[in-house]
Structure 1
């Protein structure tokens, strides 16, 4: 049996799954990995092609019954939320009513948080762009604002941008809960759920025990990121919730999905 796995090329995912992908987890089967942007995996999960797949927590209400949420391997934490960026020379504004905003995907947790924050002040136009194209689009004036995730927290000033709002800070102030961003799912009919969780936990622990072992692999897949930014990224997104959601993590997921249920289906 070969396990099919779909994750992003982001440093947190490659760091967490290095040992599993490279056959260093005792008892785990060989792994065939596909690297894809989160907007791609959020759509691919509907086809049921992968045994294990990383998706946004915002996708959970639309999951096929074939998949189960694993309590580990994902991204959930504090101080790690999405940002809404505008050009540094734009005048201050309280909202984005009437604006053109680029987002990384309609089913991303980032966009769900954005919709919860915006409320009735919704932008006039939404465009979905690949993650790496959003900051350049804002900087060039192609769009008025951009919703960004992950390493953009550390690099946006280099593009002449500033943060209009930190949706992580907003969420934590509203709820007191950490932010559920990315989840790991397993196919019920092809993977033993408890066993898969143990393989992933073992991979996380191996990464923490020897961070240098995954360095070349992580840097090879990082998108033009400096080693310093990669280290910051991993330190922020790989935390105790990655090893196990626990009661606090599960409560945060429930809070997010409860608020999501009050919104209409996402649309541009």
Structure 2
């Protein structure tokens, strides 16, 4: 069976056991490691593998062909995307200031984002509609690991970052404009839906969910077993940052979305559909 997910520590931690044949009766996996922007578009073009990790924001384009699995993905609290701007290189000041935190600074500016169909970008659009007078200017799509250097080097005015950037952005001399996860949680009271695991509808989603959940549970029960695999794919990340990444993004919702998880996904995509940011779709497909 073919599967595609990112080389980020949360994904490699979650799928380590299944990839390495440690889940009884689960089919052998052939893995494609790909940036989320790539998997989002693979699924939308119906050229993707049988199982993929995509952004929750991309679901409206693919739910007719792919079912959402209720486990394996990334959803939680305190783990949302960040909007970053450059620090004051002259003074060496990397801390937030009133000017840096003013969303009006983004009016007409260029912002780098990791994918036009990412949950991060969808949250950004919902936030910017409220907070940025006249809207931002140009949006530039970049692989997420290129965004912070681009902001630091002045290639873009701000960057929308995800994953381990939450822990490393000060080392690039960047400062926080806003935490979109904090904004979302305050606005809705719900967790943030980031990455989803989907599978082709002609397969058995119950069996796939069972194997995925077993892989999650194996990872928790044997946390050292996946260390070499995680670090091999961690893109120059040190072990402490990789573990912080796993601790943040692999949580109760990874094992089971539950009612709060499904409510968060429905709220995000329902709002986006009402504003014309995603295609209209039947919300009932999220559970079928």
Provide TM-score, normalisation by structure 1: 0.96
**Structure 1: unaligned runs, 5 residues or longer:** none
Correspondence for 2:11? 13
Alpha-carbon distance in structure 1 between the residues aligned to 2:252 and 2:137: 39
**Pair 1:160-2:169 in alignment:** no
Match of 2:2 among 1, 4, 7: 4
Task: Calculate the aligned-residue CA RMSD, in Å.
Answer: 1.2
Tell whether the 8 Å contact from 1:5 to 1:32 is kept in structure 2 after alignment: yes
Of 84, 90, 103, the residue aligned with 1:94 is: 103
Residues 131-210 of structure 1: matches in 2 within 5 Å? 131-189=144-202, 191-210=203-222
Partners of 1:170 and 1:200 lie apart in 2 by 31
Aligned residues: 263
Contact between 1:76 and 1:241, CA under 8 Å: does it hold in 2?
Answer: yes
Matched residue, 1:123 = 136
- Over residues 225-260 of structure 1, what are the superposed CA-to-partner deviations in whole Å (9 max), with x where a residue is unaligned? 000000000000000000000011001111101111
Please name the residue that 2:114 is paired with: 104
2:48 is matched with: 49
CA-to-aligned-CA distance 1:15-68 (integer Å, 9 cap, x gap): 000000011000101100000000000000022431100000001111152210
* Aligned mates of 1:63, 1:98 — CA distance in 2: 32
Corresponding residue to 2:262 among 247, 250, 266: 250
Alignment-derived partner of residue 32 in structure 2:
34
Q: How far apart are residue 262 of structure 1 and its match?
A: 2.2
119-128 vs 27-36, which moves further: 119-128
Aligned match of 1:263: 275
Q: Where in structure 2 are there 5+ consecutive unaligned residues?
A: 90-98, 279-288
Deviations 1:70-103 (A, max 9, x none): 0000000000000000011284333311111000
Query: 1: distance between equivalents of 2:266 and 2:186?
Result: 17
Determine the C-alpha separation between the residues in 1 that align with 2:5 and 2:43. 12
Q: C-alpha separation between the residues in 2 aligned to 1:17 and 1:172?
A: 28
Q: Give 4+ residue runs of structure 1 displaced > 6 Å after superposition.
A: none
Equivalent in the alignment of 2:283:
none
Higher deviation after alignment, 62-71 or 172-181: 62-71
Indicate yes or no: 2:253 matched with 1:241. yes
Partners of 2:39 and 2:48 within 8 A in 1? no
- Are 2:71 and 2:197, in contact at CA under 8 Å, matched by a contact in 1? yes
